Amino acid sequence: NPSLLGILQHPDGTVLKQLQPPPRGPREQEFYNKVYDSDCCDGILLELREYLPKYFGVWSPPTAPNDIYLKLEDVTRKFNKPCIMDVKIGQKSYDPYASAEKIQQQVSKYPLMEEIGFLVLGMRVYHMSSDSYETQNQHYGRSLTKETVKDGISKFFHSGYCLRKDVVAASIQKVEKILEWFEGQTQLNFYASSLLFVYEGLCQATTMQLSDVTLAEKRGVPKGLLSGGDVLEYNNNIHVINSTENGKIEASVSKGLSKFYALHKKAYSKRHHSQLSLKVENSEQDNVWKSNSCITQEHLNGNVLPQLEKVFYHMPAETKESANVEVRMIDFAHVFPSNTKDEGYIYGLKNLITVLQNILDN
């Protein structure tokens, strides 16, 4: 997955993305420079910043001044167990200046791009049940068809216990904001660019209201609170570039590290899942469930789990606090000036929203 190649994590909370060979690398650098120009007073570009990683200019290792890296915000940094999905958007993944050979190569990689308008390039999902990550590479996304793309994407929102509808709902809202931006601008067209989705895989207690209290009563589920245990300790065991004491950066950027995948952070220092307690409290108010959105199977007896699952699956999304989700545009090696709306990108966003909405409504 080219969008993840050459990504290095820096201790200062940024990532370093190695500039691609010309013309792609310089084009991406020029795009970031234009959007983040301190003199920029174009409202459209200023709004666009909200949907990108923050940009901190370029960096080169002292020992290899010709190796240029873009210094970007690490969007995954604030998450304990970041679940990450990279989705290429648009009907064409080749730009208007592509050779016939390049067009052929891109179309043959995923012939459904025109019809579906997006392609899952990769995902990495944390499963609370096993305290481990499941990773899918670009072959996974290319295997998806119009019929299977909904289930293929819903895998990203599944914790191992349940579908995180709160995350799906929050994702839709974020993508809709990006769609609004595209509907209002005619100066840039984006090809082979991606959306990066990130959410917290370690479910924090989310307060959810049952729309129909009787739903729970009919199924014999105790009223009251379902509380999840303590937060697992975490640590990202990753390659970073070492800073020396005086703040200079050690040039430990090797060719091996430049192939480092940002998605493949390994988490260690596991702790056992704490016991899950079911407390029954009769309350006159609306029946509120505190849940981890996810339940530790081995701690639930008999047939309680299927009943609870049915209830969770029918939670109305709008009653949940909005989940902690980031959706950012990334990969700008094929961005071109334009004087028309980016219809291909808009088509892809609309279809992605439709698929996400179908996951939510199901």
pLDDT digits (tens, 9 = 90+) for 156-192: 999 999 999 999 999 999 999 999 999 999 999 999 9
> Strand pairing partners for 71?
16
- 140 close to 123: Cβ distance less than 8 angstroms: yes
Q: What is the pLDDT of residues 120-133, one digit of tens each?
A: 999 999 999 999 99
Write down the pTM of the prediction.
Answer: 0.71
What does the pLDDT average to over 3-23?
87
Return the amino acid letter for 208. Answer: M
> Strand pairing partners for 187?
none
Confidence (pLDDT) at 283: 34
- 86 close to 196: Cβ distance less than 8 angstroms: yes
Q: What is the pLDDT of residues 190-221, one digit of tens each?
A: 999 999 999 999 986 443 333 333 333 334 33
- 53 close to 73: Cβ distance less than 8 angstroms: yes
What is the overall mean pLDDT for the chain?
76
CA distances from 297 to 44, 97, 108, 217, 302 (A): 48, 54, 43, 21, 10
Model confidence at 340: pLDDT above 80: yes
Residue 309: both structure tokens together: 């699952």
Model confidence at 85: pLDDT above 90: yes
Confidence (pLDDT) at 204: 61
Residue 107: both structure tokens together: 């179309």
Burial classification of residue 11, based on how many CB atoms lie within 10 Å of its CB (0-12 exposed, 13-18 middle, 19 or more buried): exposed
- 341 close to 207: Cβ distance less than 8 angstroms: no
Of residues 252, 211, 218, 217, the one with CA closest to residue 10: 252
Residue 348: both structure tokens together: 């892809």
Of residues 75, 69, 79, 78, the one with CA closest to residue 249: 69
